[in-house]
Amino acid sequence: MSESPLDELLERLHLIQVELEDEIDRLLEEKRQAFHYTIEQGKVRFEQGIKALQKRQKIGSWTYLRRARLKHVLVAPIIYSVFIPFVLVDIAVTCYQHICFRVYGIPRVKRSDYFIIDRHKLAYLNAIEKFNCTYCAYGNGLAEYLREITARTEQYWCPIKHARRSPEPHRFEERFVDYGDANIYKEKLKELRKEISELKE
């Protein structure tokens, strides 16, 4: 069976994504050299003297608070109140995938790939900025982790495209069965389940 124009476009997109990842890796390496740090065993290491240089650019916590806009200070408790639901969701989805993915035969999502906490290493940030950066990294890491777990679950249980496309569908959705195509659904379901089971952990 010949490829459809959409299949051809998706293949080209995949090749472009690979090329893009390579270019991002190259640019990141350039930035590491420009800002004098390396990553060794997952940990950031700055060259000697760089931390001292960064510390001279830091604004102290009290000065930072005095300069803060009142509206930012007033909404801070609301922002931080979301931490408890974040943690509960994190625990729930982690337990879910460790139990259910084993039953379904779906490779588990590696949590450490999504929770990247490294901004506290920047000496030009004060304690408040470091806390805020860690909180944002945790929230966004959780969102990506949750998305990957639910995307794998969707491919296993209900790999059907929606009638209307969302702004940023997850990475598996393009392989799903077209909305309303009852003829191919059962046949493709087995294939897509096999495909998701063969993902690398």
Quick one: 156 exposed, middle or buried, by C-beta within 10 A (0-12, 13-18, 19+)? buried
pLDDT for position 201: 63
pLDDT given at position 153: 97
| Helix (H), strand (E), coil (C) string for 72-87 | HHHHHHHHHHCHHHHH
In this predicted structure, the answer to whether residue 2 has a pLDDT above a threshold of 70 is: no
Portion of the chain with pLDDT greater than 70, in percent = 98
What pLDDT, on a 0 to 100 scale, did the predictor assign at position 38? Answer: 85
Calpha distance 23→35 (Å, rounded)? 18
Residue 177: name the closest of 168, 166, 165, 189 by CA. 189
Whole-number Å distance between alpha carbons of 90 and 140: 12
pLDDT tens across 8-24, in order?
A: 887 887 788 888 888 98
CA–CA gap between residue 63 and residue 77 (Å, rounded): 20
Q: What residue segments make up the domains of the chain, in order of their start?
A: 71-197
pLDDT digits 0-9 by tens, 91-122: 999 999 999 999 999 999 999 999 999 998 89
- Whether residue 138 contacts residue 115, with contact meaning beta carbons closer than 8 Å, is answered with yes
Answer whether residue 37 shows pLDDT above 90: no
Q: Is the pLDDT of residue 128 over 70?
A: yes
